[in-house]
Amino acid sequence: MKPLRTTRRRFLSASAAVSAAALTPACASLRGTRRATDIVTLGKTGLKLSRLGIGLGSQGGQVQRALGQEAFTRLVREAYDCGIRYLDCAQSYKTFEWVGQAIKGLPREDLFLLSKIGGNPDKPDEVIDLHLKTFGTDYLDCLLLHCAVTPTWPQERARLMEAIDAAKAKGKVRSKGISCHSLPALRVAAASDWVEVNLVRVNPQAKHTDTEEQRWNAPGTVIEPVLEQMEIMARNGHGIIGMKLVGNGDFTDPADRERAIRFAMSRREIDAVTIGFKSRAEIDEAISRMDAALAS
């Protein structure tokens, strides 16, 4: 793929609430400050990834799937050209089978591939190997249990957890963890010795964030209980990745996106974040907003 050329400075429009803050050019760096595309350490795993990751499963991957394989591959390459090295994937996403083609030819050692497995499959070792074959790689940087909602997930998914441990011992998986979608599940994850990485839904508006209801799509109410669990995770040395920063795509008002990104960047417990993109313009905006938030 030919290198992208920047022919002029691009400034992104913002709402009146944020118009006073100048946004930086796309893919630009702010000297002497933390940046969206910095390479950071994920908790006590010691693994490196870009602070901003590209989510490849918006609305279960339907958003990116609608682009078609060619445009999807181009989007991933544009994210890479902007410095994004973390790709957030899952077996259940409609883009799962496209990831291998999208990253083909990119330096594998530069990428942080995170994927997720739902449920408790009968032959989890075969499912893990399917990930490797589909992505065209020998290892995953991180593999998560996907969408836990009950506090008994360690018992319910014991078979899968054992398979992940075995794959980790063989070098097929470099780190392990969980994506939770309820507070009862999140509390168990925060205290867990098995969990190394937590994927946590977080935004100040509490849109699509964890509640006491044990169902994945329960409407969020307040963010404070989630923040309490993040503090416990940090004390336990867990890596913490924020998701749902833009409310699962619901934050169509730029002021909401600005507020949410600034909030996430202010939380020192968070190592990295993932945002689902469907265009280069969305990547540019997120980088600009994150850079500005980190510099303030």
For residue range 257-287, what is the model confidence (pLDDT) as tens digits? 999 999 999 999 999 999 999 999 999 999 9
Mean pLDDT of 188-201: 98
Report yes or no on 16 lying in a domain: no
Report yes or no on 59 lying in a domain: yes
pLDDT band at 205 (very low <50, low <70, confident <90, very high): very high
User: What is the pLDDT, as a whole number, of residue 217?
Assistant: 85
194, 161 contact by CB (below 8 A): yes
Q: Output the six-digit token pair for 238.
A: 């867990």
Q: List the CATH number of the domain containing 187.
A: 3.20.20.100
Residue whose tokens read 């938030």: 293
Helix, strand, coil fractions of the chain, as percent rounded to 5: 40, 15, 45
Report yes or no on 22 lying in a domain: no
Residue 115: domain span: 39-295
Indicate whether 100 pLDDT > 60: yes
Q: Which residue has the higher pLDDT, 60 or 37?
A: 37
Q: Output the six-digit token pair for 268.
A: 């020192």
- 146: alpha, beta or left? (left if phi > 0; alpha if psi -120 to 50): beta
Report yes or no on 18 lying in a domain: no
User: What is the pLDDT, as a whole number, of residue 32?
Assistant: 59
User: What is the pLDDT, as a whole number, of residue 33?
Assistant: 82
- Give the whole-number percent of the chain exceeding pLDDT 70: 89
Report yes or no on 235 lying in a domain: yes
- Where are the extended beta strands (E) located within 125-284? 142-148, 176-180, 197-201, 239-243, 272-276
Mean pLDDT of 12-39: 54
For the chain, what is the mean pLDDT?
90
Interval 106-116: pLDDT, tens: 999 999 999 99
Q: Longest Cα pair distance anywhere in the chain, in angstroms?
A: 55
Report yes or no on 67 lying in a domain: yes
Interval 43-93: pLDDT, tens: 999 999 999 999 999 888 899 999 999 999 999 999 999 999 999 999 999
Nearest to 143 by CA among 164, 124, 112, 121: 164
The one-character DSSP state at 114 is E
Report yes or no on 10 lying in a domain: no
User: What is the pLDDT, as a whole number, of residue 17?
Assistant: 33
| Count of the separate structural domains present in the chain | 1
Indicate whether 5 pLDDT > 70: no
